[in-house]
Chain A
């Protein structure tokens, strides 16, 4: 268990430089879009009131209050989230392949560590999970900071300030990643974790059987997806017999069973089939 912690720490530290860069980029894009929005609103206010002599009430009636809600739901705010999601997705693949690729094959060292090899699997998985949680926490932490920018530019009379809770609710992705309902939280992350386990297993199939493995992995992946979505096929056959949340629970159960099978398969591959 102590070694497992060290493994996770080691994996995390390896990604840290890119991770910090990613966080900085996320912050810069979000800050830039807030600044852009703030000055745009400010110039609108100036134009309406100073040039056209509109009253404050008239302006607010036409334009509404300046608020984080408007930015959080804008397209520009999807960009950093998409960048972060793509980076994490690539790293789910790269976290394995980086150990084989390049001049120095570090996978030798990892496989020869005095730990059960499935711990490598779990440590890489835990690292991905930490990266995701870290990003979510970072996003939540910078929301008030971003609002401060808005506060500095727009006078209080034209502003509608939000609580952090309110901002989280306004950002679609965060509503998904930080659901208020605990069950939703479990389901969302459960599917996420199952997805990562499936990808890891596909990678290990490819790393074990190489060229043949590519086809086997694709087959395994498609098979898994078909199984996860099979309740919907059932639903069509049964002519809408189930409620929607029954379907979801069926999917969830299938995802869990597939994850367990995948972990056992990965354990077998790491112990018996893997090649450096």
Chain B
């Protein structure tokens, strides 16, 4: 379980996170929803220790961030973080050099699924393919948790469909997934839990099937209540 308790972050005088508390379980897809600037990306970065926070605590299966946790959690940012002159296969080599949990067989499998070539250079990839390679680098790790930042932003409809398919596939089976988005409609039925954010606080945390079953509300109905009500 990834657990955030009262995480606060200020940048200068500006508050970015004002006491974020939520949990993301293994075996579930947790979706952080909020408009841009709500602090979604910052939360994922804070989990990975890529940005400092002043108060609160983040634990992964009860542990604080450590080198071992980096094998356990993999973060897929919404920007390319591989070197431009690398070929996809060089990136694979880099990952297999450093991570015990890198699953080369699965990397090849996903490469095929996305119809990418391992000789392609990172700098030559289209926007859609960049998103796919990013996803691939994360999914090919035998990690317990995957954090994905806006996997659907700014890419074409077919890439979106392919990426959405990943969520119901064996690729995320039994893993804990945290995904951020400002656009829920593509994945409304794919997520287990929704965490609604605004201005650096969690406005509501709920299981999607539960609000459908007990309150006959769609995820968007709940969002409307929270953000407009």
A and B touch in the complex (CB under 8 A): yes
Which residue numbers of A lie inside 8 Å of B, CB to CB? Answer: 3, 6, 10, 14, 102-109, 111-116, 208, 271-276
Asked if B71 is at the interface of the complex by the 8 Å CB criterion, the answer is yes
Q: Are A276 and B82 also in contact (CB < 8 A) when A6-B98, A113-B98, A114-B99 are?
A: no
Q: How far does the alpha carbon of A112 sit from the alpha carbon of B75 in the complex, in Å?
A: 8
Distance (Å) between the CB of B162 and the closest chain A CB? Answer: 22
User: What residues on A are CB-neighbors of B82 within 8 Å?
Assistant: 104, 106, 109
Q: How far does the alpha carbon of A91 sit from the alpha carbon of B81 in the complex, in Å?
A: 21
Q: How far does the alpha carbon of A108 sit from the alpha carbon of B49 in the complex, in Å?
A: 10
The B interface, classified by DSSP as helix, strand, loop or mixed, is loop
Contact of B45 among A102, A271, A272, A276 (CB under 8 A): A276
Asked if B122 is at the interface of the complex by the 8 Å CB criterion, the answer is yes
Tell me how many residues of B have a C-beta within 8 Å of chain A: 25
**Closest CB pairs A-B (n = 5):** A108-B81, A114-B70, A276-B50, A114-B67, A275-B51
A102 touches B67 (CB 8 A): no
Which residue numbers of B lie inside 8 Å of A, CB to CB? Answer: 45, 48-52, 67-68, 70-71, 74-75, 77, 79-84, 94, 97-100, 122
B83 touches A106 (CB 8 A): yes
User: What residues on B are CB-neighbors of A111 within 8 Å?
Assistant: 48-50
Q: How far does the alpha carbon of A9 sit from the alpha carbon of B107 in the complex, in Å?
A: 24
B45 touches A114 (CB 8 A): no
Contact of A106 among B81, B97, B98, B99 (CB under 8 A): B81
Distance (Å) between the CB of B76 and the closest chain A CB? Answer: 10
User: What residues on A are CB-neighbors of B45 within 8 Å?
Assistant: 275-276
B80 touches A6 (CB 8 A): no
Contact of A104 among B49, B50, B94, B122 (CB under 8 A): B122
Q: How far does the alpha carbon of A3 sit from the alpha carbon of B94 in the complex, in Å?
A: 11
**Beta-carbon nearest neighbor of B80 in chain A:** A104
Distance (Å) between the CB of A12 and the closest chain B CB? Answer: 14
Additional A-B contact list (19), CB under 8 Å, known A6-B97, A115-B98: A6-B98, A14-B83, A102-B84, A103-B79, A103-B84, A104-B81, A108-B81, A109-B81, A109-B94, A111-B48, A112-B48, A113-B70, A113-B98, A114-B68, A114-B71, A116-B67, A274-B50, A275-B45, A275-B50
Q: How far does the alpha carbon of A274 sit from the alpha carbon of B51 in the complex, in Å?
A: 6
User: What residues on A are CB-neighbors of B67 within 8 Å?
Assistant: 113-116
18 chain-A/chain-B pairs, Cβ below 8 angstroms: A6-B97, A6-B98, A10-B94, A104-B80, A104-B82, A104-B83, A108-B50, A109-B94, A111-B48, A112-B48, A112-B70, A113-B99, A114-B68, A114-B100, A115-B98, A208-B52, A273-B52, A274-B49
Q: How far does the alpha carbon of A76 sit from the alpha carbon of B84 in the complex, in Å?
A: 38
A108 touches B122 (CB 8 A): no
Q: How far does the alpha carbon of A115 sit from the alpha carbon of B70 in the complex, in Å?
A: 8
User: What residues on A are CB-neighbors of B49 within 8 Å?
Assistant: 111, 271, 274
Contact of B98 among A14, A114, A116 (CB under 8 A): A114
Distance (Å) between the CB of B149 and the closest chain A CB? Answer: 11
B98 touches A3 (CB 8 A): yes
Q: How far does the alpha carbon of A273 sit from the alpha carbon of B46 in the complex, in Å?
A: 11
Most buried by B among A10, A114, A276: A114
**Beta-carbon nearest neighbor of A104 in chain B:** B80
**Beta-carbon nearest neighbor of A17 in chain B:** B85
**Beta-carbon nearest neighbor of A102 in chain B:** B84
Q: How far does the alpha carbon of A263 sit from the alpha carbon of B68 in the complex, in Å?
A: 22
User: What residues on A are CB-neighbors of B81 within 8 Å?
Assistant: 104-109
A104 touches B79 (CB 8 A): yes
**Beta-carbon nearest neighbor of B45 in chain A:** A276
User: What residues on A are CB-neighbors of B84 within 8 Å?
Assistant: 102-104
User: What residues on A are CB-neighbors of B83 within 8 Å?
Assistant: 14, 104, 106
User: What residues on B are CB-neighbors of A14 within 8 Å?
Assistant: 83
User: What residues on A are CB-neighbors of B100 within 8 Å?
Assistant: 114
**Beta-carbon nearest neighbor of A9 in chain B:** B97
User: What residues on B are CB-neighbors of A104 within 8 Å?
Assistant: 79-84, 122
